Amino acid sequence: MKHPGQLTGAKASQIFNAINMGLVLIDASERILMWNDWMVKHSMINAKTALQKTISDVFSDKPSAAFLTSLRNTIQYGLPAVLSNALHRSPLPLFNPGELSEESGRMHQSITITPLPAGPDETHCLIQIMDSSASIKREKILRSHSEIFRKEATTDSLTGIYNRRFFDEHFKMAMGHSRRQQLPLSVFMVDIDFFKEYNDYYGHVAGDKALISVAKTLKSQLTRASDIVARYGGEEFILMLPNMPEELAMQFAERLRAAVWESAIPHLKSRISEQISISIGISTYLLGQDVTIQHLLEAADTALYKAKQNGRNSCCYLNAQSIIDLAGVDKS
């Protein structure tokens, strides 16, 4: 008489087939002894066909080399193994229904191989296969959302270039690098001339388009990954170019001014021309100067003001050290 708690073969089979994962039992010769309904569903191979075949022969596409190596180590040495989906995407040719004919539809899998003693000198293996496709998709969505949030946090939503927050953070790092490496660092303050008049005459939609166009033009002049252009606020932009001495900075500023001028965006309400122009203030951190980030920004901003006083559509340079000297600022 059977003990009340003892499972019959039929009852055990019902349980194995009800479990929402693949269960495959193989002997020491890699022959299949159990193949549950989950495996039938996702391999399209019925149990009768699978039983007594080797795990390598049952599939039309052989299991991955990593899977077979892990399986044989478990049989030979009794070592359990785990094949995570992070390193082994699809060790077995299993599919979700409706995707059976597509290679891209292969199921992401997490596989555990457990040794089961079957006799004094024989080991069977229980292979458990979990469908990881849903978790992989969730992870991709989370990564995508994270990238979107990161981009929104560092990018100006209108122009697509960096925003002021990104510039401020990277400016600090670039300034520290220039000090340590004893290299120059140039900053450019750029302002669109008479932009209020442009908005008043053409409207804010046209004004937004003009800002986008100028931003693209400025960005197109950058040639190094370390060069940064950002929207600093309103119609004002700021650029930072590491390892650029003052003589080259003036040449580069003129290139920026000319590039925007040559884009020939109509501006009938400008007081100096009938197209959009920019004014630029430049300053450079030079070897040996004991200036701060704020001094460098103030120098570029003051130079921009002077460029406007000089009639706009022009570039002006101001040594950052002069900000300290003129204002009597304590350099500490």
**DSSP labels, 37-100:** HHHHHHH---HHHHTTSBTTTSSSSPPPHHHHHHHHHHHHH---EEE-TTT-S-SS--B-TT-T
Per residue in 173-206, pLDDT (tens digit) is 999 999 988 999 999 999 999 999 999 999 999 9
Residue 281 has pLDDT above 90, yes or no: yes
8-state DSSP, 120: T
Q: Residues near 66 by Cβ (< 8 Å), separated by ≥ 6?
A: 83, 88, 91
Residue 299 has pLDDT above 80, yes or no: yes
Which pLDDT belongs to residue 67?
A: 94
User: Percent of the chain having pLDDT more than 90?
Assistant: 67
235 catalytically annotated: yes
Of 93-97, 113-117, 219-223, 263-267, least confident by mean pLDDT is 93-97
Q: Are 165 and 154 in contact (CB under 8 A)?
A: yes
Q: State the average pLDDT over residues 47-74.
A: 93
Burial class (CB in 10 A: 0-12, 13-18, 19+), 260: buried
Residue 172 half-sphere exposure toward CB, CA atoms < 13 A: 5
pTM listed for this prediction: 0.59
Q: Does domain 9-137 have CATH number 3.60.15.10?
A: no
> Per DSSP, what are the bridge partners of residue 123?
117
Residue 306 half-sphere exposure toward CB, CA atoms < 13 A: 14
Q: State the average pLDDT over residues 99-119.
A: 76
Residue 289 has pLDDT above 90, yes or no: no
**CATH 3.30.450.20 segments of the chain:** 9-137
Residue 21 has pLDDT above 50, yes or no: yes
Q: Using DSSP, state whether 285 is helix, strand or coil.
A: strand
Which of 103, 122, 235, 298 is flagged as catalytic? 235
**CATH 3.30.70.270 segments of the chain:** 155-327
Tell which CATH architecture fits domain 155-327.
Answer: 2-Layer Sandwich (3.30)
User: Percent of the chain having pLDDT more than 70?
Assistant: 90
Q: Are 23 and 127 in contact (CB under 8 A)?
A: yes
